[in-house]
Structure 1
Amino acid sequence: MLDKTIYKQIFKASFNAPIDVEFWDGEQVSYGEGEPIAKIILHDVIPIKDIMAHASLTFGEAYMDGKIDIQGDLQKLVTTIYQSKDSFMNNSKFSKFIPKHAHTEKVSKQDVQSHYDIGNDFYEMWLDPTLTYSCAYFASEEDSLETAQWNKVRHILNKLHAQEGETLLDIGCGWGTLIFRAAKEYHLEATGVTLSQEQYDYVSQKIIDEGLEGRVHVYLKDYRELTETYDHVTSVGMFEHVGKENLSTYFEQVNARLVDNGTALIHGITGQHDGAGVDAWINKYIFPGGYIPNIAENVNHIMQASLQIDDIEPLRRHYQRTLEMWTKNFHDVEESVIAKYGERFYRMWDLYLQACASSFESGNIDVVQYLLTKGASATNLPMTRAYIYQADVAHGVK
């Protein structure tokens, strides 16, 4: 009979809340005191050598393949793993992972398209009608996901203090929610750039459908290929894709794309502590080539790029709620997703959404908005933050 001692040691160290575990031979073990928040069912032996090599990748694949089932609250289960300092997610013996370093323009395009070109119809199944795939901004407890996404777009544009007739570049524009709002509500000439063919086709057609030729532009190209300058630059959920070795280039490009005294709002997932980095399972199945920098890394690159920091706003709890709403939407279309993409794909995305919500809930990662200016002499921003919230109220963010 297989000795399960090492497995039990791993599980004992990995939870700070009561958990039940049922092994492949029917043995059941309870960890912690009180009512269990979840039950882990192992249908098959998970090789110890694989756990020791890459625990996150091994357990993630086992869940995708149905070798592990979870009864109960999956998000709470992953949260308690993050919160336990000796768990396989925090112990370097189990979690060491060195990401790939190739982020040429060709590789970056392949990485982005592997995620975003699954198909617009897939994202339309569970995103809100704005097709916004980034952290929302909940101005009140009653905000729907769609309202909160509009809040986020307006909150970003309000921080820029943009004036009618000015120009804006959105690096990694997604399905264009921000650039369309910038043009229609803030009367800016807005340009988006993306590496996703699906997103490019969608935005291009929408420009025509809404009669916004000349006011909204979109390019299918790498941000490093751009040469024009703009009054304002935004980038939402983008720097997580560029790779550790390209962060300096990314912020240098933000600087290069701004006119003197221009403003930029950079919004992205950021670690508040060392070691946010990369998760092996997410790198393989969700975001190939991705890297989550910590605040110190970003600030260092911002300084080296000669950009001035005017404001930093963490939105961790907002992203937790966003992901929880996405998860509910995703569960509502479970049958449709499985019918089109298969059960393994569904389990993969379900684990991804809930594990990310857990990561934000536990404080393992954060999402931060950096308001930057090109040059310390910029005088286009008011002296206090009051202008942001006044503009939020004026634009219905309240």
Structure 2
Amino acid sequence: MSNSETSPDERFEQEGSRIETGRLAPGRAAMWLLAKSLRRLVQNGRLTIYDPCGQTWHFGPGGEPAVSVRLTEKVLPVQLLVNPSIALGEAYMDGTLRIETGSLRDLLSICMTDIDTIDALPGRRLTRWLDAFLSRRLHHNPISRSHANVAHHYDISTELYDLFLDADRQYSCAYFPIGTETLDEAQAFKKKHIAAKLLMRPGLEVLDIGSGWGGLAMELAQQHEARVTGLSLSTEQIAAARERAQQTGLFDQVAFERRDYREEHGLYDRVVSVGMFEHVGRSGFDAFFTTLQRVLRPDGVALLHAIGRMAPKGGSDPWIRKYVFPGGYLPTLSETIAAAERAGMWVTDVEVLRLHYAETLRHWSERFAQERETARMLYDERFCRMWEFYLAVCEMAFRNGRLMVFQIQLAKRRDAVPLTRDYIAKGLCQVVLSGRDQEPRPVQAAISAA
């Protein structure tokens, strides 16, 4: 083995002693410290790093996935130590971290297998402390800031979203009752699963908080003869939803308004919110559930579908917050339920979807990769790298980390829904079978057993 490819154990013995005697340059010392962390972190596969000083480092027990990465700037090891979340994403975006073999998803799979070890990294601990210290300011979203945050992510080209979303533009966790569904099938199941929990029937008035491009609202109007009001702060989404309602002939059943949920004063039989609660911010929980309690009729039912964290406290990733979802806050199930109860709401059903979003994001990543050149023409190479990293790092956070999706059914009255949850599976099965005479037997069985 050449001097440039000594084993990790030999490297640590040699360079560790140089650190102790002060004979190692700061850049080399940072790489040694980074390698020390990676030795604990990489527990599967094989990771090879070519550092800026021309040395090669190997980590992991071997096997698949196997990834090799080149770091091109001497400051990068220091940045990865001090703020790993920000530094890794930015280095990939800027091309100062180049993946020479394997893929980005492989790299993140290797590095994100052991979340406890990641959280124990010195830079990670510092970041979490700063987030906790600045939590109220970072995650406080008054109406004016909410408008700006939504515009940052949703008021970009609709063409971009069409590159990787399903035909209905469902930009939230899909539902995979079997696990082999296509993305479009899984998103259709998600909408039907939600409708079953809402106990839909003809003539109900529904409020959809965070209605996106209007797919769920139009499903409830078309399939269940509901009158739906959809709220969004995105100018692009509202325009697209209104156009679609006009084209499908549902304009007399659905209305889409660019309005904050806190400004809503109507009364509704059903309230649904899918993929919006993550933008409320911790300081806004009480306002959200107070609004829900105020606009829901006495015998009404509500359904909240949101990304959550399996942790004592919620939070947000610094890179995601900086580049993708400013103001975002991923709540824990416990703090969400506590806020609902403070508003006087009954929690009538809870379901935790664990790996469903990982599969959704895998589909999105694969679709985006197929249309990457089109995305590059819409924006640029750095944007494509940012979007790739966003989809991949989120997938691995759901697959290996502490993220999940929860659905909470809420009511004002304890008797607003049936005593057992059998109606959810029966309702979903009835809706699916009514639209598909030749439903495959495995799907029927999965729905019946849900």
How high is the TM-score relative to the length of structure 1? 0.95
Output the amino acid matched with 1:35.
Answer: G
Q: Distance in 1 between matches of 2:167 and 2:75?
A: 41
Output the amino acid matched with 1:33.
Answer: P
How many residues align? The count is 396
The offset of 1:314, in angstroms, is 1.1
The offset of 1:237, in angstroms, is 0.6
Q: Distance in 1 between matches of 2:268 and 2:155?
A: 28
Aligned partner of 2:224 in structure 1 is 186
Q: Mean alpha-carbon deviation: is it higher for 168-177 or for 44-53?
A: 44-53
Q: 1:46 to 1:275 in 2, by over 3 A?
A: farther
C-alpha contact (below 8 Å) 1:56/1:89 kept by paired residues: no
Please, which runs of 5 or more residues in structure 2 have no aligned partner?
A: 1-24, 434-442, 444-450
Aligned partner of 2:70 in structure 1 is 41
Q: Distance in 2 between matches of 1:358 and 1:46?
A: 26
In the alignment, structure 1 residue 388 sits paired with structure 2 residue 418: no
Aligned partner of 1:65 in structure 2 is 94
**Candidates 98, 102, 120, aligned match of 2:158:** 120
Q: Distance in 2 between matches of 1:352 and 1:129?
A: 21
Aligned partner of 2:13 in structure 1 is none
Alignment of 1:127-206 (within 5 A): 127-206=165-244
The offset of 1:395, in angstroms, is 1.4
Q: Distance in 2 between matches of 1:222 and 1:259?
A: 20
The offset of 1:76, in angstroms, is 4.1
In the alignment, structure 1 residue 93 sits paired with structure 2 residue 125: yes
Output the amino acid matched with 1:395.
Answer: V
C-alpha contact (below 8 Å) 2:232/2:258 kept by paired residues: yes
Output the amino acid matched with 1:63.
Answer: Y
Q: Distance in 2 between matches of 1:36 and 1:147?
A: 31
Q: Distance in 1 between matches of 2:265 and 2:102?
A: 52
Output the amino acid matched with 1:54.
Answer: N
**Candidates 291, 296, 299, aligned match of 1:258:** 296
Please, which runs of 5 or more residues in structure 1 have no aligned partner?
A: none
Report the secondary structure of 1:273's partner residue.
Answer: coil
C-alpha contact (below 8 Å) 2:234/2:258 kept by paired residues: yes
Q: With CA pairs under 8 Å and 6+ residues apart, which has the higher RCO, 1 or 2? A: 1
% identical equivalent positions: 33
Output the amino acid matched with 1:93.
Answer: R
Q: Distance in 2 between matches of 1:39 and 1:136?
A: 33
Q: 1:143 to 1:108 in 2, by over 3 A?
A: same
Report the secondary structure of 1:395's partner residue.
Answer: helix
Aligned partner of 1:26 in structure 2 is 54
Deviation digits for residues 219-263 of structure 1 (CA, Å, limit 9, x no counterpart): 101111000010000000111011111112112212112111210
Q: Which runs of 4+ in 1 moved over 6 A?
A: none
In the alignment, structure 1 residue 345 sits paired with structure 2 residue 386: no
The offset of 1:270, in angstroms, is 0.6
Q: Mean alpha-carbon deviation: is it higher for 213-222 or for 327-336?
A: 213-222
Report the secondary structure of 2:112's partner residue.
Answer: helix
Q: Distance in 2 between matches of 1:95 and 1:269?
A: 21
C-alpha contact (below 8 Å) 1:182/1:190 kept by paired residues: yes
Q: Distance in 2 between matches of 1:82 and 1:303?
A: 35
C-alpha contact (below 8 Å) 2:242/2:251 kept by paired residues: no
CA RMSD of aligned residues (A): 1.8
Output the amino acid matched with 2:35.
Answer: K
The offset of 1:24, in angstroms, is 1.8
**Candidates 386, 393, 400, aligned match of 1:355:** 393
Report the secondary structure of 2:290's partner residue.
Answer: helix
Deviation digits for residues 175-211 of structure 1 (CA, Å, limit 9, x no counterpart): 0010000000011111100000000001111222222
**Greater share of residues in helix:** 2
The offset of 1:10, in angstroms, is 2.9
Aligned partner of 1:278 in structure 2 is 316
Alignment of 1:297-376 (within 5 A): 297-376=335-414
Q: Distance in 1 between matches of 2:383 and 2:219?
A: 33
The offset of 1:94, in angstroms, is 4.9
Output the amino acid matched with 1:137.
Answer: Y
C-alpha contact (below 8 Å) 1:74/1:354 kept by paired residues: yes
Q: Distance in 1 between matches of 2:82 and 2:421?
A: 48
The offset of 1:65, in angstroms, is 0.2
Larger Rg: 1 or 2? Answer: 2
Output the amino acid matched with 1:160.
Answer: L
Q: 1:278 to 1:77 in 2, by over 3 A?
A: same
Q: 1:387 to 1:199 in 2, by over 3 A?
A: same
How high is the TM-score relative to the length of structure 2? 0.84
In the alignment, structure 1 residue 77 sits paired with structure 2 residue 104: no
Report the secondary structure of 1:218's partner residue.
Answer: strand
